[in-house]
Amino acid sequence: MCSHRTAIMSISIPFFSKSIAIFPFFIILCNISIISNAQTSKENWVPVNTNNSNKIYINTIGLENFKENDIYVWVLEENDPPIIMEGIDSKIYKTKTYFLLNKYLKRYSILQIIFYDVKNNVVKSYNYDRKTDNINYKYSSPILEGSNVSSVLLKCVEVINSMKK
């Protein structure tokens, strides 16, 4: 009976030791995956308009990937004084908005919007993502000359063109 246990243990130990040898490899692989995902979630906020009481920035990370007419971009707006909206209990000090802009059509849509309080806590968020190719629904609003959205589009194009050089 003892010799049988020894045989089982001798079979188990080599398998277990192989597992132990492979374990660090998986740990390293997971760390590389986590690090690469963390790098893609970085933010680089570039000012668009900081002259008014409401400061506007765009996140330039990933803008170089947009070669055609559609540009997806996060826009950060700092509200001073904070804004008050119906249905939201806190004052809104910051707003992040995910836009779809079309350079050719001069139209845009808001895909997501997140409101923040004074402590940078999310107080409310909305998702407006549409799965459609119908231009009237995909781009719900015109980009008006001189508007904040127009300034955002111009800054995006400027950043994209500078990255091509």
Q: Is the peptide bond before 81 cis (omega within 30 degrees of 0)?
A: yes
**Helices and strands (H, E) in the chain, number of each type:** 3, 7
| pLDDT recorded at residue 41 | 65
Q: Return the SS3 of 116.
A: strand
| pLDDT recorded at residue 112 | 96
| pLDDT recorded at residue 130 | 80
Locus of tokens 């107080």: 123
Distance CA 144, CA 74 (A): 19
pTM: 0.72
Nearest to 104 by CA among 142, 51, 77: 142
Using CB atoms within 10 A of its CB, is residue 71 exposed (0-12), middle (13-18) or buried (19+)?
buried
Phi, psi at 63, each rounded to 5°: -65, -30
Using CB atoms within 10 A of its CB, is residue 8 exposed (0-12), middle (13-18) or buried (19+)?
exposed
| pLDDT recorded at residue 81 | 92
| pLDDT recorded at residue 31 | 44
| pLDDT recorded at residue 94 | 96
| pLDDT recorded at residue 51 | 80
List the chain residues with pLDDT less than 70. 1-41, 165
73 and 152 Cβ atoms separated by less than 8 Å: yes
- AA identity, residue 83: I
